[in-house]
Structure 1
Amino acid sequence: MDLFKYISKRLLTLIPVLLGITFFAFLLGHISPGDPAEEALISIGIEVPSVEQLAEMRENMGLNDNIFKQYGHWVKNAVKGDLGTSYFTKKSISEEFKTRIPITLKISILALIMTIFLGIGIGLLMAIFKDTFTDKLLRLISVLFLSIPGFWLAIIMIIIFCEKLHLLPTSGNGGIKHMIMPAFVLASSTIAMTSRVTRSTLIKELGEQYIVVAKSKGLSQKLATFKHAFINSLVPIVTLIGNYFGGILGGATIVESIFSLQGMGSYVLRGISSRDYPIVQGYVLYTGIIYVVITLTIDIIYIFINPKIRLNGVNN
C-alpha cells in the first residue's frame, strides 16, 4: 500500500511538469528566429516571396491565430498522438517518429547496457584494486574517455575498426554490428563517469563502520563488498545512469549524423536547420516525456534499493 501511495504521489507531482513541457515545446516555435512561412515558400522555389504570398502562407499554416488558440489546438492533437505535419515535406510527424524512434532506442538501449556492465564493472575493479597499477591505469583511461569529444572518438573508431581492421560497418541501419560503434561513442563518457562514481562510492562504503564491524565478525572481503557495500552505493550510480539515459536522446543527434542513421536525432537536426518548428516541438515534447518516465522509474528503483526512501516519500 505504501508503494502505491508513493507512486501515486510522484505521478501527481509530474502532471504540472508534463503541462510545462507541452507549453515550452509549443512556445519554442514562436520565440525561435526566422519566419516559417518564408522558409516554406523558399523551399518551393519562391526565393523572394511577396507580402501577399507570406500572408497567404501564414494563414494556410495557421500562424495568424493567437498563441493560446494555437497552443490549445496543438495540445488537443498531441494528446491524440497527432503532432502535426512538417511545414516542408507535408508528412505526418507522428508517422516519422514511429519509424525513427526504434532506431534511436536500439542505439540508446545498447549504450545503456554498455554503461551498466562496463561502467559498474570497471568501477568495481578500481575499488577492489584501489591504488594499485590496475586502478591507476583504469582511472587514466576513464579520464581520457571523459576528455575525448564524441565526434573525434567516432572518427578514430571508424578509421581503426572499419578502414583498417574491416570488422564493423561504417554507417547505415542494420543489425547489431551497425549499432556497436554508435552505441559505444554515445556511452563512452558516461561509462567513464559511472566507473569513477562506482569507485568513489564503493570505497566510501567499504570504509563505513558497519563494514568494519562485519569484517571483525568474520565476514569475507568479497561478501562485504558485494552483499553490503555495493548495494548501499547503488543510489548515486542509478541516478547517474538514469539521468544519462534521459539525456542520451540529445547526444544521439551527433552520433546519428556521423554514422548516417535515420533516427530521431538526424530528423530533428534537419528540422532545426530548416526552421521546421513542428518537428522541433514534437521532439522537445517526446524527450520531455522520456525524462518524466525515467525520473519516475528511478524513484521506484530507489525504494527497492533503500526502503527508507519509500517511507519518507509517503510521510513527507
Structure 2
Amino acid sequence: MKAFSFIASRALQGVIVMLGVSAIVFFALFLTGDPAALMMPPDASRAEIEAFRQAMGFNDPVWVQYGRFLGGVLTGELGNSLRFQRPALDLLLERLPATALLACVALLWSSLFGFLLGTIAAVRKNSAIDFSIRVISLLGQAIPVFWLALLLIIVFSLKLRWLPSSGIGTVWQLIMPSIALGAYYLSAITRLVRASLIEVLGENYIRTARAKGITSRRIIIHHALRNALIPVITVQGMYFASLLGGALVTEIIFAWPGIGRLAVESIQNRDFPVVQAVVLFAALIFVVVNFLVDLAYVWLNPRIRL
C-alpha cells in the first residue's frame, strides 16, 4: 500500500509538471503581443497576417485557445509545421530515432568507463592512479562540447581523414558525435561514482564485512556498489533525459538529423508549432525518466518510500 501511494504521488507530480509546461509553452507565444505577426515572415502583408490569425484561431479568447491547445496535446495533435505543412508530431518522431541512437551510444560508453574509472579511483584513493583519474575527469568537464567536437573534426577528419565529419548511416559517422557528447558525462559519472563509493566504503557494515574476512572484490561488488548507485542513477537519468531532449550543439556541428537540430531549424524559421512539440516532448522525457528513477530508488533501497 505504501509503495502504491508512493508511485501514485510521483505520477501526480508528473502530471502537474506537464500541465505547467504546457501552459508556459502556450503563453510564451503571447509575450510579443501578437502571435500571428511573430509566426509569419517579416515581409508578410497585413492581410496575410490577418488571414493567418483567423485560420489559427488567434481571434478567440486566450482561455479558449489554451483549452484547444491542451486538448490537442492530450490527443497528440500538436498542430502542423508552418514550414513543411505536416503534423509537428510526425516531424518530431522522424528525428527521434537519430537522437535516441546518439544518446544511447554516448550514455552507454560514458557510463561503462565512468563506473570503471570511478571504482578504480575510489579503491585506489589518494594514489597516483586516483590523482590521474581526477585530473582527467576535471578536464573532461571543463572542455566545452563545441570545442571538443571541432577538435575531433580537425584531427580525425581533416588531418588524418579517418572518420567522416558529418551525416548519419554508418558506424563511422557515429563515433565522433558520441565521443563529443559523452565526454562530459564520462567525467561527471566518474567523479560521482568515486565520491559515492568512498562514502559507502567508510560505513560500519563495510568494516564489519572486512572483519569477517570477505574479500575486497566481493565487498565492492555485492555490498558497496548497490548503495553507491542511488545518486549515480539520479544523474544518469537526468543525463539521458537531456540527451533525448536533443543535443543541440553536437547535432548542429556534426549535421546529425536529430531533435536538437530540428529545434534550432524551427526557431530560425519561426516554425513555432514544431518548437512547442519539441519542448513538450523534452519535458515529457524528463518527467518519465524522473518517475523511473523514483521506482529504481524503491528497488535499490525500500526505506526511501517511507
Q: Same fold (TM over 0.5)?
A: yes
Contact 2:246 2:261 in 1 (8 A): no
Residues in 1 aligned to 2:171 and 2:4: alpha-carbon distance in whole angstroms: 38
Residues in 1 aligned to 2:83 and 2:246: alpha-carbon distance in whole angstroms: 25
Deviation sequence 1:226-262 (CA, Å, 0-9, x none): 2111111111111111111122245611111101111
Contact 1:36 1:277 in 2 (8 A): no
Q: Which amino acid aligns with 2:214?
A: L
> Which range is displaced more, 136-145 or 219-228?
219-228
Which of 157, 168, 171 matches 2:166?
171
Q: Which residue of 2 aligns with 1:127?
A: 122
Contact 1:29 1:281 in 2 (8 A): no
Per the TM alignment, residue 60 of structure 1 is displaced from its structure 2 partner at its CA by: 2.3
Which of 104, 111, 114 matches 1:116?
111
The runs of at least 4 aligned residues of structure 1 exceeding 6 Å deviation read: none
Which of 93, 101, 118 matches 1:98?
93
Q: Which residue of 1 aligns with 2:190?
A: 195
Contact 1:83 1:278 in 2 (8 A): yes
Contact 1:242 1:294 in 2 (8 A): yes
Residues in 2 aligned to 1:85 and 1:127: alpha-carbon distance in whole angstroms: 52
Deviation sequence 1:41-62 (CA, Å, 0-9, x none): 44xxxx3x44333222322232
Residues in 1 aligned to 2:32 and 2:270: alpha-carbon distance in whole angstroms: 8
Unaligned 5+ runs, structure 1: none
Q: Mapping of 1:290-309 within 5 angstroms? A: 290-309=285-304
Q: Mapping of 1:186-225 within 5 angstroms? A: 186-225=181-220
After superposition, the Cα gap between the structure-2 partners of 1:72 and 1:262, relative to the gap in structure 1 and judged at 3 Å, is same
Contact 1:256 1:266 in 2 (8 A): yes
Per the TM alignment, residue 203 of structure 1 is displaced from its structure 2 partner at its CA by: 1.0
Contact 1:246 1:290 in 2 (8 A): yes
Per the TM alignment, residue 64 of structure 1 is displaced from its structure 2 partner at its CA by: 2.1
SS, match of residue 63 in structure 1: coil
- 2:123 counterpart of 1:139: no
After superposition, the Cα gap between the structure-2 partners of 1:22 and 1:141, relative to the gap in structure 1 and judged at 3 Å, is same
Percent identity of the aligned residues?
34
Q: Which amino acid aligns with 2:202?
A: G
Q: Aligned residue pairs: how many?
A: 306
Per the TM alignment, residue 10 of structure 1 is displaced from its structure 2 partner at its CA by: 2.1
Residues in 2 aligned to 1:88 and 1:36: alpha-carbon distance in whole angstroms: 15
Contact 2:166 2:173 in 1 (8 A): yes
> Which range is displaced more, 223-232 or 195-204?
223-232
After superposition, the Cα gap between the structure-2 partners of 1:108 and 1:34, relative to the gap in structure 1 and judged at 3 Å, is farther
Contact 1:34 1:275 in 2 (8 A): no
Q: Which amino acid aligns with 2:235?
A: L
> Which range is displaced more, 210-219 or 23-32?
23-32
Deviation sequence 1:146-187 (CA, Å, 0-9, x none): 111000000111122223333322111113332222122122
SS, match of residue 40 in structure 2: helix
After superposition, the Cα gap between the structure-2 partners of 1:175 and 1:93, relative to the gap in structure 1 and judged at 3 Å, is same
Residues in 1 aligned to 2:75 and 2:270: alpha-carbon distance in whole angstroms: 24
Q: Report the TM-score, using the length of structure 2 for normalisation.
A: 0.93
Unaligned 5+ runs, structure 2: none
- 2:5 counterpart of 1:10: no
CA RMSD of aligned residues (A): 2.0
